[in-house]
Chain A
Amino acid sequence: MTFGVIVFPGANCDHDAYHAAKHVFGQDARFIWHEDESVGDVDVVIVPGGFSYGDYLRSGAVARFSPVMQDVIRFANEGGLVLGICNGFQILCEAGLLPGTLMRNDNLRFRCKHATLRVENNQTPFTGAMRAGQVVSFPIAHGEGRYFADDDVLADLDAHDQIVFRYADGDGNVTAEANPNGSAENIAGIVNRQGNVLGLMPHPERCVESLLGGGDDGALVFQSLIEHAGAVAA
């Protein structure tokens, strides 16, 4: 399948997503420049991590107005697969493709570490290769990762199985100690109602090769997408 990775000025995980798709999983991958008005002929768009346009305003608040994001919105509305990682999650929220917002971490500091997540919904194109309730370990690296939404939105997310990952301890217990940033209900990643747009703060693309330490659970996201594409094609 073909992965398109958006390049915003200030994006800095674009190469990591590209490397994972292209060199680790052997898929087609291409960069999409932020001023392009079309994402082109791709199967999945990755909105990568980093500091788009410097993020001196609210994270993602400028990127949502870029020419390419208008086409990402079109692509998503037509059912295209969109994966927003870290800053990409923030941008998707700002663009209205996902509900809620990401606020400063509760300890007011940037935090980079491996976090364990419980898979809450494995019935998405991004998580099909995982088991429901499985605990996976992905790195986090963000200063503004505290997911926030009002109670109605949270209830709605819950009711429609849109919460895909929650921060949990190694045994899968969703606890305050396991929550690295104060996210509402330990939310680490959500999908839209249709299930074709996933945003998450942790970085699956950073843990696809066991050489880098911390395991390779991130591979499950890429494998899920590749299997999903295969199933759709067949």
Chain B
Amino acid sequence: MAESTPHVPDVDLDLAIEHGLTEEEYNWIVDALGRTPTFVELGIYSVMWSEHCSYKNSLALLKTLPNEGDQLLVEAGEENAGLVDIGEGLGVAFKIESHNHPSAVEPYQGAATGVGGIHRDIFTMGARPICALNSLRFGSLEEPRVRYLFDGVVRGIGDYGNSFGVPTVAGEVYFDDAYEGNPLVNAMSVGIVDSDRIASAAADEAGCQVYIVGSSTGRDGIHGATFASEEISEESEEKRPSVQVGDPFQEKLLLEATLEALKAEVVAGIQDMGAAGITSSSFEMTASSGTGMDLHLDRVPVRESKMTPYEIMLSESQERMLIVCKKGREEELKAIFEKWDLNAQHIGEVTDTDRVRVFWHGDVVADLDPHHLAAGEGAPVYERETEEPNYLAATRAFDASSVEDVTAETAEDALVGLLAAPNIASKRWVFEQYDTMVRTNTVVGPGPSDAAVVRVKGTDRGLAVKTDCNGRYVYLNPRRGAQIAVAEAARNVTCAGGRPMAITNCLNFGNPYKPEVYWTFEQAIRGMSDACEALETPVTGGNVSFYNEHPEGAVFPTPTIGMLGIVDDVTEHSTTSAFQDEGDVLFLLTPDAWTHRDDIGGSEYLASLHGMTTGDAPHLNLEEERAVQDAMLTLIRDGCVHHAHDVSDGGLAVALAESAIHGGVGAKVDLGTADDLRTDAVLFGEAQSRIAFSTTADDADRAERLLAEHPGIGVHRVGTVGGDHLRMELGGATLLNVPVDRLASTYESAIPDKMNA
């Protein structure tokens, strides 16, 4: 076989192990084939059975997540992304995906191609991307290397998204030493599709011709999927060639050409080429359709001469798609791509052989059963050993009395200190580098809101979208931490005026072969299930990224949640977190069982001001959460809410300060009495399920009457919006009285000061 191919190494166990396969896995391959695989076949197996493509260490647990609901148009995992019915004949496709490993060694291209890859997942379904989000995590900004990574990632996201022409509307940026050396870069795309025009990754009919469209194929990104399936190490710098190079202009052309081809109904099936390029697209399409495919790699347009079939098969060159053309429509397909100056090269045919056969100048270089390669079919599925990590004994034993409480003398400095903490401070330095408005749908962009709101042109509706996860909580209590990630994302969407509908997730964890890591993974999956069931937001899909480690250990377990909500009336219901008018009445909405809690565990206050990552994750009861969110949405839909902001990182004091900063107006707040509670817990504790909101003075009574009909919640009038100071009283004494100007300048300058230092 394959005599005409130059430089083909002999395939043996050593070579298989070099490819990242285990001895056991290699033996399964040899047994299944009844022969030694060819070099190309070994390459195919190594990427298809890599963690990144096969989900071999996560699939069993992922299947336990709730993935059903009337609102879903496709089930989780069935297509490239989740699809939610928003009515009026429209669906929303959305998905989040990691690009952590590439970004760790080449931040600019790593982040850029992360953005490009996730958009392709959306438009390969026939949806036009309407907005992008991202969720980023880095080590401490005090480190020059971290500033380099942060700067490169932000530029990469900006340059790709800005040129592609889709607004980046929301996201989050966290800094913690735990992410040093292994930043997390999770990108999310949201698109709109006509419900009757959804494209599918199908290769159903034998005899249909197969085309590769978009960019030509180069040597970039070979073995990217394998690289993403191992730990970052000192040697990772050498993996730079595994990082792909992005071209947003080609992506823009590919988007327009693809949507035009789908509209012309010449496409029978389409699959984007992300990880593992031609390999994954051809094998996944045929495995799911129960067909086969013949591919002639010598016909693939290449960027470099002398590329081998192995390289072409494994290249992760960006901005490419595999299209199965409807019979007799080939010339139309080619004309559309030609109009957009793109390749549409005929490289093969769908067959009924149940084999994917790969040819090189007429010789067969691979002949494999797609089912044996596919995730959840022939690919291995493992359940790994679990063990509760030792550190939890210490963090659970945390005793708050070891921390000095704040007083009226120290509270102001503490608040200002928290507003200067990079995790809380304004991310303007980041989001001003993103085009947040292109396509003129952004109703509420980044900054003064818990979630972004984009309108859906031609309807009254909007989408409220948010990414969220506090990795510190998950580290301290994986199950509750994951519950909080879902609950907070839903609360954010609710505060913006949306009804939470469904989530996509990006599960960033360490090495799954470490029992402690796998235990946190299992617990986090359970927590996510708990919350998604309680809030009726099924999981539509997502991505798992293991091996997020560096020489000092694993990153915080970080199951990032991408939440999609629907705003029924985008003109009336969109709500921001900014205080609006002088004289507005300020309320605090809480569960009925409690208003404040003696809870500083896992807080930003402990981490930033006391240097402690300890205690339990903050309090969360999912029934309470549901009651609070339902009440809030009712009130917003009634039209009497002027601003709404949930209590999260930095606690109640920071939530109120942020609303004052965004609104450019102060407030007088009376927090009541809390004699038996720590003052820092009242001000900065992060107990969940609380929302501060305001109404006009005229609407205040009506708001209280409406909320009185809601069980399970407490509503407290806590003050009035107005003046140029934020003043807070507790137990009849003034704790804080700070000029809003001072809060704002601290909040705005913290990150620019560090980056420009």
Q: Which of B426-475 contact A (CB under 8 A)?
A: 431-445, 455, 457
**Contact assessment for B455 and A211 in the assembled complex, using a CB-CB cutoff below 8 Å:** yes
Does B509 make an interface contact (CB < 8 A)?
no
Contacts of B457 in A (CB 8 A): 19
Residues A12 and B438 in contact in the complex (CB < 8 Å), given A112-B433, A141-B162, A213-B445: yes
- Top 9 closest pairs, chain A to chain B, by CB: A12-B165, A54-B249, A51-B163, A141-B435, A16-B440, A110-B433, A112-B435, A10-B249, A110-B158
Question: Could you list some 15 contacts between A and B, CB below 8 A?
Answer: A12-B439, A16-B440, A19-B457, A53-B249, A55-B249, A110-B162, A110-B435, A111-B433, A112-B434, A141-B435, A141-B436, A141-B438, A206-B437, A212-B443, A212-B455
Chain A residues with CB under 8 A of B163: 10, 12, 50-51, 54-55
Instruction: Among B248, B252, B457, B571, find the residue whose CB has the most chain A CB atoms closer than 10 A.
Output: B252
Q: A16-B439, A211-B571 are in contact. Are A9 and B433 (CB under 8 A)?
A: no
A12 adjacent to B252 (CB under 8 Å) = yes
By secondary structure, the A interface counts as: mixed
Question: Is A217 among interface residues, defined by CB-CB distance under 8 A?
Answer: no
Q: Say yes or no: A51-B570 contact (C-beta < 8 A), given A110-B158, A110-B159.
A: no
A203 to B162, CA, bound (A): 14
Q: A55-B163, A110-B433, A112-B433 are in contact. Are A13 and B443 (CB under 8 A)?
A: no
Q: Are B440 and A112 in contact (CB under 8 A)?
A: no
Task: Tell me if A211 and B438 are in contact (CB < 8 A).
Answer: no
| Interface size, B (range) | 20 to 34
Question: Closest CB-CB distance, A20 to chain B, in whole Å?
Answer: 8
CB distance from B450 to the nearest CB of A (A): 15
Within B154-183, the residues touching A (CB, 8 Å) are: 155, 158-159, 162-165
Residues of B within 8 A of A143 (CB): 162
Output the least CB separation between A216 and chain B (Å). Answer: 12
B474 to chain A, nearest CB (A): 32
Beta-carbon contacts under 8 Å, A181-227 to B: 203, 205-206, 209, 211-213
CB-CB contacts below 8 Å: A116-153 with B: 139, 141, 143
Query: Measured between C-beta atoms, what is the minimum distance from B120 to chain A in Å?
Result: 17
Q: Which of B159, B164, B431, B438 contacts A16 (CB 8 A)?
A: B438
User: For residue A160, which residues in chain B have a CB less than 8 angstroms away from its CB?
Assistant: none
Check if A74 is an interface residue, CB within 8 A of chain B: no
Distance (Å) between the CB of B95 and the closest chain A CB? Answer: 22
> What separation, in Å, do the CA atoms of A53 and B248 have in the docked complex?
10
A sample of 17 more A-B contacts (CB under 8 A), given A112-B431, A209-B440, is A9-B249, A9-B340, A10-B253, A12-B163, A12-B165, A12-B438, A13-B438, A16-B438, A19-B440, A20-B440, A51-B248, A53-B249, A110-B158, A139-B437, A141-B436, A206-B437, A211-B570
Q: Is there contact, CB below 8 Å, between B432 and A113?
A: yes
CB nearest neighbor in B for A7 = B256
User: CB-defined interface of B332-351 with A at 8 Å, one 1/0 digit per residue?
Assistant: 00000000110000000000
Give the chain B neighbours of A50 by CB distance below 8 A: 163, 165
Residues of B within 8 A of A (CB): 155, 158-159, 162-165, 247-250, 252-253, 340-341, 431-445, 455, 457, 570-571
For the complex, is A104 an interface residue (Cβ under 8 Å from B)? no
B residues in contact with A206, CB < 8 Å: 437-438, 440
Once bound together, how far apart are the Cα atoms of A110 and B157, in whole Å?
11
Are B443 and A213 touching (Cβ within 8 A)?
A: yes
B165 touches A213 (CB 8 A): no
A9 CB to closest chain B CB, in angstroms?
6
Q: Are A9 and B437 in contact (CB under 8 A)?
A: no
Residue of B nearest to A16 (CB): B440
Minimum distance in angstroms from A205 CB to a CB of chain B: 7
A205 to B441 alpha-carbon distance, docked (Å): 12
Bound complex: CA of A109 vs CA of B152, how far in Å?
A: 12
Residues of A within 8 A of B155 (CB): 109
Q: Inside 8 A of A212's CB, which chain B residues have their CB?
A: 437, 440-443, 455
How many whole Å from B353's CB to the nearest CB in chain A? 39
For A33, the closest partner residue in chain B by CB is: B339
- State how many angstroms separate the Cβ of B418 from the closest Cβ of chain A: 25
A209 to B162, CA, bound (A): 22
Residue of B nearest to A11 (CB): B165
The answer to whether A112 and B432 touch across the interface, beta carbons within 8 angstroms, is: yes
B309 to chain A, nearest CB (A): 30
Distance A51 CA – B457 CA, assembled complex (angstroms): 23
Residues of B within 8 A of A109 (CB): 155, 432-433
